[in-house]
Structure 1
Amino acid sequence: MTAFFSHLVSVLGAERDVYCIVVAHMVPNTVLFVPAALDKLMKVSAVLAKPKSVDRAEYDEIASQFPTPPLSREWAANPTAVVAELKKLGLSGKSVVFVDIGGYFAPSINKIAELFDGTILGVMEGTENGVQKYEAHLPISAPVITVARSPLKLPEDHLVASSVVFSIEAVLRSQAEILQTRTAAVIGYGRVGRSVAGILRSRGINTVVYDSDPIKLAEAAARGFQANTRLDQAVGQASLVVCATGNKSLDLRGFGMLQSGSVVASVTSADDEFDLGSLSRGYVRTEIEPNFIRYDENRGSGRHFFLIADGNAANFIHGAVIGPAIQLIEGEKLRAIKKLIEKRVPNATDRLSELDEKSRREVAEIWIEHFL
């Protein structure tokens, strides 16, 4: 895999006078991608570990190579604090790229660009929920480019869905249950949610779908799923709920719609998918095992539900390893960053930018050369 990145960087051309701040999950692929790809294309000044992944072994490995300032939504939304950290990292007067996942800098990027005494070349956002956050803050006076909706991400999205279902099943088996004893609801019929629903149905599990977008809901119905126009209708008939919106699919009211005994899982970070802070007002938390948390309603009703991985991406339980397919979209990230460095991405006034088809084909051709 390092040969693929070396080849791609050699084609793109390294930019050693450009520095980047990287938001990343601490998973096996990060240990490869950050030093072998990002730090070869430019200079990685800091890796901001997603908060729920700092206890993983990969964090120690990354921290031994790069500065790892703590990351939180509150800090990232504070432009003064972010600019102070950039200066602390010695980036005054430098050219900087933000490599984001989850839209951490969406509320603050305009002010960061204004306050920073160097140059913010732009942001590369890698996830759909991050794209939604940046879109909510348009117009943005800096370039923002995304790979989240690229066709090159389709293989990764499907494999992520497969690994999510694998991990859900593994956790259920550890509780002496099998997947097929449950009925399922998938909340969010985006690219990952669509694949999760298809995989569950292929395993013989009755699966219903809910999405707030009528176009996506219509597609789900056309594909033969029972498509619900109301969240309570969807979760009320399911004992397994997989959330794939990246946009607070369940809050205290939503958790109250669940059947007693339901198992809930997410395909993304807990802070993106759920309002877990509200649960302390209505539920008592008990750790059955580290990746299987029970929440009991505190009114003595006996009603309860279970949260896999305490609401974080279920597939991270098993390292989120999905093979070479993920390097395809990582390659597109490098190409998108290079475009930012070349200043060929316009400011995000009314939409985020994406790579053109020719650039994607070039990345795919190099990937095929190395992996097929």
Structure 2
Amino acid sequence: METFERARLDAYFANIVGRFLPEERASSFLITHLLPERPGFVRAVAALSDLRAVLPKPKSVSESARREVERCIAVDALSRGLFADPDSALDYIESRAGGERIVLLDVGGYFAPALTDLHDRFSGQLAGVIEDTENGHRRYAGIDKLPCPVISVARSPLKDPEDFLVGQSVVFSTEAVMRGRGDILHGRPALVIGFGKLGSSIARLLHAKGVQVTVFDIDPVRRAQALAQGFAVARDRESALTGAGLVLCATGSVSLRGEDFGNLRNGAYVATVTSSEDELELGTLPEVYTRTKVGDHVTRYQTTGHYFYLANGGNAVNFLHGASVGPFIFLVQAEILSAIRMLTRDDLAPGLHEVAAADRAAIAATWLSYFNR
């Protein structure tokens, strides 16, 4: 970022922090994509809470951002395994914030498997969780009885611009990867798996580029929406895969399992909008497939009579080019900051919650005063 851009961002976050300053501070843990612009948000989280550690998502770390954050805040390694086991999760949280009141800021439901144990066994108090993504929202919603408040911004109207622009960046990066091998989008029928906010954005941009698009979604309501918007809608996954020369996975859960890959037509490209562990079951792919790196960010999977290409190892393809959505990401980050104050008030019942509409409106008005110039 340019110096003046950084100064404007810091001024914006200072305004947001002043508006949502909690009466009592809690400690916090922050899972985030540690992208180049992210230190400003990290500093804002630290201004509203005692930030004990930043845990960057492994496939989206800017080394310059890491170095900047590490000067004043601990940066720890993140994996699904760390919080999949309640004992290891508890040991980690105790080592950083034993006996304290804590808020967990999540991206993708990492804390969900250990949440009940953390709530019941932690030596301090778990005030609650703030979740940023649809995938994570589903993970927390799937817990039979949430032990604490979980504030989700995944379905906030302030997130709509981000979701739309992420879809655009996915198409941009997919096309760039293909062009790096001398291939292009045109002439390849595309299949978009998942017709939520991201999937619908991807489908619309591909269509605008003149690409033939088919949509598959397990939700019949979304299939009807796709049909109404002029897209072909597949009746089943198998037949859809057979005809696709490009497959974009945008479900936030498992899009392709081991048996699905055999249905891909020869030479098809596969790209995702999130991590491979969420979208693809590559571990169940038959061992007869050999894996060969055939480009900077492309792996060919091949067996006798069949081959396909996987972009960026199955991880979010848009992170190859920074995954930037411009200043619109700061709307969502401000909403996350406002949620910290909600949790520290200690008046929310266990369960899923949203930020109040009045707070969202105040955030949008503040954002417009800084970035609509």
TM-score, normalised by the number of residues in structure 1? 0.94
Q: CA deviation at 1:65?
A: 3.6
In structure 2, what is the equivalent of residue 267 of structure 1?
273
In structure 2, what is the equivalent of residue 342 of structure 1?
345
1:3 aligned to which of 8, 11, 28: 11
In structure 1, what is the equivalent of residue 226 of structure 2?
220
SS of the residue 1:355 aligns to:
coil
User: Does the 8 Å contact 1:211/1:229 carry over to 2?
Assistant: no
Separation of aligned partners in 2, 1:19 and 1:104: 18
Determine if the alignment matches structure 1 residue 237 to structure 2 residue 240: no
Separation of aligned partners in 2, 1:256 and 1:59: 40
User: Does the 8 Å contact 1:38/1:44 carry over to 2?
Assistant: yes
Determine if the alignment matches structure 1 residue 51 to structure 2 residue 58: yes
In structure 2, what is the equivalent of residue 38 of structure 1?
45
Structure 2 CA distance for partners of 1:15 and 1:171, relative to 1, 3 Å = farther
Counting only pairs closer than 5 Å after superposition, residues 187-198 of structure 1 correspond to structure 2 as 187-198=193-204
Separation of aligned partners in 2, 1:140 and 1:21: 19
In structure 2, what is the equivalent of residue 88 of structure 1?
95
Separation of aligned partners in 2, 1:67 and 1:214: 45
Aligned letter for 1:43?
Answer: D
Structure 2 CA distance for partners of 1:287 and 1:65, relative to 1, 3 Å = farther
Separation of aligned partners in 2, 1:48 and 1:16: 24
Q: CA deviation at 1:14?
A: 5.0
Aligned letter for 1:363?
Answer: I
Aligned letter for 1:319?
Answer: G
In structure 2, what is the equivalent of residue 332 of structure 1?
335
Determine if the alignment matches structure 1 residue 106 to structure 2 residue 112: yes
1:76 aligned to which of 74, 83, 90: 83
Q: CA deviation at 1:64?
A: 4.0
Q: CA deviation at 1:280?
A: 6.2
In structure 1, what is the equivalent of residue 30 of structure 2?
22
Determine if the alignment matches structure 1 residue 369 to structure 2 residue 369: yes
Deviates more, 1:130-139 or 1:49-58: 49-58
User: Does the 8 Å contact 1:285/1:294 carry over to 2?
Assistant: yes
User: Does the 8 Å contact 2:159/2:332 carry over to 1?
Assistant: yes
Q: CA deviation at 1:63?
A: 3.6
User: Does the 8 Å contact 2:36/2:62 carry over to 1?
Assistant: no
SS of the residue 1:32 aligns to:
helix
Aligned letter for 1:47?
Answer: V
Aligned letter for 1:123?
Answer: V
Separation of aligned partners in 2, 1:280 and 1:225: 32
Aligned letter for 1:368?
Answer: L
Deviates more, 1:278-287 or 1:18-27: 278-287
2:183 aligned to which of 163, 172, 177: 177
In structure 1, what is the equivalent of residue 125 of structure 2?
119
1:139 aligned to which of 140, 145, 155: 145
Determine if the alignment matches structure 1 residue 165 to structure 2 residue 171: yes
Aligned letter for 2:69?
Answer: I
Aligned letter for 2:31?
Answer: V
Counting only pairs closer than 5 Å after superposition, residues 203-214 of structure 1 correspond to structure 2 as 203-214=209-220
User: Does the 8 Å contact 1:80/1:115 carry over to 2?
Assistant: no
SS of the residue 2:186 aligns to:
helix
Deviates more, 1:68-77 or 1:274-283: 274-283
SS of the residue 2:102 aligns to:
strand
User: Does the 8 Å contact 1:186/1:209 carry over to 2?
Assistant: yes
Aligned letter for 2:110?
Answer: Y
> Could you report, residue by residue, the CA deviation over 1:165-211 in whole angstroms, capped at 9, with x for unpaired residues?
11111111111122223210000001010100001001100000000
In structure 2, what is the equivalent of residue 318 of structure 1?
321
Separation of aligned partners in 1, 2:175 and 2:72: 35
**RMSD of aligned Cα (Å):** 1.6
> Could you report, residue by residue, the CA deviation over 1:115-163 in whole angstroms, capped at 9, with x for unpaired residues?
1011111000100011111111131111101000111111001110111
Structure 2 CA distance for partners of 1:282 and 1:6, relative to 1, 3 Å = farther
User: Does the 8 Å contact 1:16/1:41 carry over to 2?
Assistant: no
Structure 2 CA distance for partners of 1:177 and 1:324, relative to 1, 3 Å = same
User: Does the 8 Å contact 2:37/2:65 carry over to 1?
Assistant: no
Counting only pairs closer than 5 Å after superposition, residues 282-301 of structure 1 correspond to structure 2 as 282-297=288-303, 300-301=304-305
SS of the residue 2:113 aligns to:
coil
Q: CA deviation at 1:60?
A: 4.0
Q: CA deviation at 1:337?
A: 2.0
Deviates more, 1:137-146 or 1:183-192: 137-146
